[in-house]
Amino acid sequence: MAATDADKLPNGVRLRDLGPGDIEAGIALSREAGWNQGAEDWRWMIHHGRGWACIDSGERVVATALTLPQSGSFGWISMVLVTAAWRRHGIASALMTHSIEALKAVGKTPGLDATPAGRAVYGPLGFNDIYGLTRYRAESPRFEPVPDGSGCRPLRGGEISVLASLDLLAFGADRLDLLEDLRQRAPSLAWVHETGKGYCLGRNGRGAHQIGPIVAEDGGMAIALLHAALSGVNGPVMIDVPDRHIDLIEWLTRSGFRAERPYTRMLLGADQPFDDPNRVFAITGPELG
Ligand SMILES: CC(C)(COP(=O)(O)OP(=O)(O)OC[C@H]1O[C@@H](n2cnc3c(N)ncnc32)[C@H](O)[C@@H]1OP(=O)(O)O)[C@@H](O)C(=O)NCCC(=O)NCCS
């Protein structure tokens, strides 16, 4: 960290790189915030991204932030977490400044999905609202069986690179590694539409299954893919949906999902999305975009 950033940290807190040894501490911060990430999520993000931990005088991890550079023109800021006892001391702002500098140094526009508390930090740093999202959760969704003729079938292992090409057009960056990781983690949540224009993936989180991303041509296709994925799920499920997708949101509400928390997609110094929000019906999750 540059001296100017370190100077902004409160006394008694220092910064170091986040490493594989911090997975348990990361899970503890996720749990404290009521987030869903487990060991597999933290391991993937630490391996593929670059992260920082704030350490107190007792060597405890009291805050984290991660950057996940994408192949496109933007990079993702993720896992901005500060333990309750250290909030409102400027730690998140210092971690954000550092993360922004790290992404700018590799020519990427910083982006993120903000909680309301996070948005209060990011707005003054220059982040613009791009679109709203809402997390929906069901303890046990009451969904209909997959109807015949829905046009969905399970994703086959060898198809992931075709799917990544479709994802590139919708998401705005090549994320083959992430998509393959999701397929391996939760094959029963991985479905494609036979037209080749839609797919769904998901993962098993610490407290719930998370469905997403879902890319589709329209709401009907998105609902069919979600239907199919839910057929392999037992227990709590959540999904993060852009607020514009009214058809899908109405279907979720009818199926026992309730709005849990809002997010705002934000970009630094840009006012247009890098993705195609008309085709992205569910994001992977706020930590992954
Ligand atoms: C959101 C969070 C990261 C903020 O961390 P922090 O270290 O307390 O933030 P900072 O001290 O840098 O805050 C800077 C400014 O942002 C604003 N701000 C921060 N938290 C806020 C909150 N909960 N409500 C309203 N404004 C807030 C304030 O203007 C604050 O300045 P001030 O303390 O001088 O008034 C922390 O509350 C947290 O971990 N929350 C749970 C997880 C989460 O929501 N993370 C954000 C993910 S996008």
Asked if residue 112 belongs to a domain, the reply is: no
Q: Chain-wide mean pLDDT for the chain? A: 94
| Residue 69 half-sphere exposure toward CB, CA atoms < 13 A | 11
Distances (CA, A) of 174 to 169, 180, 275: 9, 12, 12
Residue 288 included in any domain: no
Q: Whose CA is nearest to atom 10 of ligand 1?
A: 90
pLDDT tens for each residue of 227-250: 999 988 889 999 999 999 999 999
The answer to whether residue 119 is domain-embedded is no
Our mutation pick for probing the ligand 1 site, out of 62, 95, 121, 135, counting the most ligand atoms within 8 A of Cβ, is 121
The pLDDT value recorded for residue 144 is 62
Tell me how far the alpha carbon of residue 288 lies from the centroid of ligand 1, in angstroms: 20
Token pair 């740093």 in the structure block, residue:
125
- Counting the structural domains of the chain, the total is 2
Judgement on whether residues 140 and 239 belong to the same structural domain of the protein: yes
- pLDDT score of 113: 98
Compute CA distances 180 → 14, 46, 166, 184, 287, whole Å: 36, 17, 14, 6, 17
Tokens standing for 69? Answer: 């550079």
Q: Is the pLDDT at 145 greater than 80, yes or no?
A: no
Ligand 1 pocket by C-beta < 6 Å: which residues?
Answer: 33, 80-82, 87-93, 114-115, 117-118, 120-121
Residue 249 sits in which domain range? 134-282
Which residue's CA is the closest to the ligand 1 atom numbered 20? 117
Indicate whether 149 and 240 sit together in one domain. yes
Tell me the pLDDT tens digit for each residue of 156-208. 988 999 999 999 999 999 999 999 999 999 999 999 999 999 999 999 998 99
Q: Which regions of 70-188 does DSSP assign to beta strands (E)?
A: 74-82, 109-114, 127-138, 152-154
pLDDT grade, residue 1 (50/70/90)? very low
Pocket test for ligand 1, best of 56, 64, 87, 133 (most atoms within 8 A of CB): 87
Q: Which residues contact 118 (CB under 8 A, 6 or more apart)?
A: 80, 92, 112
Strand-pair partners of 16: 53
Q: Is a pLDDT exceeding 90 seen at residue 270?
A: yes
- Determine the Cα–Cα distance for residues 99 and 261; give it in Å rounded to an integer: 25
User: Residue 54: in which H helix or E strand, if any?
Assistant: strand 50-55
Instruction: Please give the pLDDT value at position 114.
Output: 98
Residues 62 and 153 in one domain: no
Whether 122 is in a domain gets the answer: no
Q: Per-residue confidence at 3, pLDDT binned at 50, 70, 90?
A: very low
Which residue among 82, 99, 130 is best mutated to probe the pocket of ligand 1, counting the most ligand atoms within 8 A of its Cβ? 82
Do 91 and 49 share a structural domain?
Answer: yes
